[in-house]
Copies of this chain bind each other. A is one copy, B any other.
Amino acid sequence: MAITRTDVLAAAREVLRRHSLADLSMRRLATELGVSPNALYWHYPDKQTLLAALGDDILADVTAPADDLEWDERLESVARAMRASLCAVPDSAEVVSSGWSSGLSTMAVLDHLTDAARDGGLSASARRGLVTAIAQLVIGLTIEQQTRQQMERLGVTGPGDRDYDAEFADALAIVLAGARQVRAAQTVATAAS
């Protein structure tokens, strides 16, 4: 039976879940699928593209936030959903980061953040800054957490003392406070003109 792109992504997820990103080689993935390494190159042009698709897949369950929420609550909701999706799959934040950097990812989640910011009435540049600040926070902090978790799992390191969830909450609170403040400043400026 022939293999599909979906099979490949599922197998890749499974390698991350049971092992790590370091173990996610084309050869290993092929073995897991009972196929020769070259077979993967019929479905994806290269590893980079495969990883970008995997990253998009992992974030695919981040949908538009409930529309009875205020704009800032919607931002928070999307940010937390992104982080939850990443935390469900080991090393996924690193995968998403590389996909975004390579330009091979759709970065579709960012639209939900942008939409919420627009509904808040933020200017184009304020929206852009806000989306960047939130996205980099989610990805970057989760990379650090997941790398740490892998090291603990391998026993190369003892348990750390950082509370990543609390750190995330604190950082997100600052960014959202900034968003509200920038919006308020905009409103005053508009009213004065």
Interface positions of A (Cβ within 8 A of B): 97, 100-103, 125-126, 128-130, 132-133, 135-137, 139-141, 143-144, 147-148, 151, 157, 160, 166-182, 185
15 sampled A-B residue pairs with Cβ under 8 A: A103-B151, A103-B157, A125-B166, A129-B167, A130-B170, A132-B167, A132-B171, A133-B175, A136-B141, A137-B137, A173-B178, A173-B182, A174-B175, A174-B178, A177-B182
Question: Residues of B contacting A160 with CB < 8 Å?
Answer: 103
Mostly, the A contact residues are helix
User: Chain B's nearest CB lies how many Å from the CB of A47?
Assistant: 12
Per a CB cutoff under 8 Å, which of B136, B151, B173, B181 touches A136? B136
Task: State the 9 A-B residue pairs at the shortest beta-carbon distance, nearest first.
Answer: A129-B170, A178-B178, A136-B140, A101-B147, A129-B171, A177-B178, A174-B178, A133-B171, A132-B171
Find out whether the CB atom of A103 lies under 8 angstroms from the CB atom of B174: no
Distance, CA A141 to CA B128, complexed state (A): 12
List residues of chain B with CB within 8 A of the CB of A133.
133, 137, 171, 174-175
Can you add 5 more A-B contacts, CB < 8 Å, to A101-B148, A136-B139? A129-B167, A130-B170, A136-B141, A137-B140, A177-B185
The answer to whether A175 and B173 touch (CB under 8 A), given A103-B157, A132-B141, is: no
Residues of B contacting A100 in the complex (Cβ-Cβ under 8 angstroms):
144
A130 neighbours in B (Cβ, 8 Å): 170-171, 174
CA distance in complex: A135, B129 (Å):
15
B residues within 8 A CB of A136? 136-137, 139-141, 171
